[in-house]
Chains A and B, each alone.
Chain A
């Protein structure tokens, strides 16, 4: 099946696909500018990771974001989207580099283009660096961080940390108290 792709820019009007197949409702701009929301088409993912029943991704672009789309049949009946469309005013590199750079255990200071990162809707940043550092830092500053050397760091800020397996657990409570195996051994801060 051979298709010709002519990309069109579109805005995501809805990311809640009633079929639960990662589709998004799109408004192609300017071609669909006057079409009511109820009549707008659903576009399926271009799906760069492939779409087997055993291997696929679900990461539709969020509502109001901008995407590239193409019309697979040439008659405006079947659309695919490519996420996402770069709009300069919406892009801010420091939203990822600043939180990741605040992790004190990082191997070295990040220098553009590091860190590579994904800014998530709640403000947390999923990142990795070309030196092997990787982790996730939340908007409140808490983080999970793994150095290239294999060292692991977890900073829950004012929240508790619990590590456990099938036989026992270690709880670092929010007040700093350490509890091992559900009260068998407790150490105050």
Chain B
């Protein structure tokens, strides 16, 4: 265990044997993201003698556990080594120097391919599949539809979940929002709808980008911030869609419409795109649609899930990259309140920005310690879809 200036606490065990770490000679990055099933990690340690490499302690698939946090909050992540590399040999003649070790979640190294069938709701199949691994927790709160026989065609559990099951997840209580499957650095598996992520049961952390006049040194203080919008090129196709299906009864073509505000539906929030015209910008083909006389309910629900999940790209219209001091309590999938100020008429910074302050979903969370520079920070990519625009703002009525 290594504690540095009461700042962080990290313990690395390789095959359950404690690795002795000197914080100034050790660097790490722990990352998770709702956009990726697998979390990842890497660390760099100084192999002065080359004997760590010589003893093959960093070979592929070697189990590693990482305990990380501070005195009050810590978590344990389970990994296997993906690859190791010597960045630069320091001593002529021997392989000594900084060794970079990339990690994958422990699940990766245990998966076999299966030829199996599962007759169940999609989310229950996912729960059944991921229960084969000893995750620290399995977080699947939504009860999904999509009852069918789902086939695992000689692929790994992760491939099955990510590529075959996840696009079909739909739940009546998800408020027409897409689902995400991801593993966080605390080795918990999550299957969550955008709706359930945005309606947390507990409190939400506040991260504040404070003016210099409010110079505060604390874990919730944003030291750097970047802001961007997703870009018209990336979500123009989501603006207005025709939805086509072909009846399996008589072959007739049916068309409906949706738009960027359908997932989730809202009457108050604004999507920050200028222009209110409804020209069609893309179409989504459901394919064959069974009706109540010739098809199971689950089949139709799975196709509804595909329609909804195809709108993931419309969920993050505004994003921030924010840096804070190392904060082990925040993972991807959490809601954070981002406090941002605005300049007022009296040239003070006492008011929050009406446009930019608000609740954001943590899309990606990275915890970084740079031993060489002896600095640590957490980097979060956070995003949201809808903006609450004051009615007094001229453009408010002209946004989508």
Contact = CB atoms under 8 A, between A and B. Distances in A.
A77 B148 contact: yes
A73 B168 CA distance: 11
Contact of A75 (B117, B154, B164): B164
B149 A1 contact: no
Interface in A15-56: 28, 30-36, 39-41
Given A1-B246, A73-B287, A30 B167 contact: no
A1 B151 contact: no
A1 B117 contact: no
B48 interface: no
Interface residues of B, number: 21
B150 A39 contact: no
Nearest to B148: A77
A164 interface: no
A1 B285 contact: yes
Interface in A54-106: 72-73, 75-78
Contacts of A32: 115, 117, 151, 153
A12 B153 CA distance: 17
A39 B115 contact: no
A35 B116 contact: yes
Interface string B210-250: 00000000000000000000000000000000001010000
A30 B154 contact: yes
Nearest to B119: A39
B323 interface: no
B117 A39 contact: yes
A64 to B, nearest CB: 20
A32 B151 CA distance: 8
Interface string B138-165: 0000000000111101100000000010
Nearest to A52: B251
B302 interface: yes
Main secondary structure of the interface of B (DSSP, over half): strand
Nearest to B118: A39
Contacts of B288: 72, 78
Contacts of A41: 149, 151
B62 interface: no
B299 interface: yes
A39 B149 contact: yes
A40 B150 CA distance: 10
A34 B116 contact: yes
Nearest to B114: A34
A33 B150 contact: no
A61 to B, nearest CB: 21
A70 to B, nearest CB: 13
A1 B246 CA distance: 8
B154 A72 contact: no
Contact of A31 (B153, B168, B246): B153
Nearest to A40: B117
A39 B149 CA distance: 7
Interface in B249-305: 285, 287-288, 299, 302
Given A33-B154, A34-B114, A77-B150, 10 more contacts: A1-B287, A3-B287, A31-B151, A32-B115, A32-B117, A35-B115, A35-B117, A39-B149, A75-B168, A78-B287
5 contacts: A34-B114, A34-B116, A41-B149, A72-B288, A75-B302
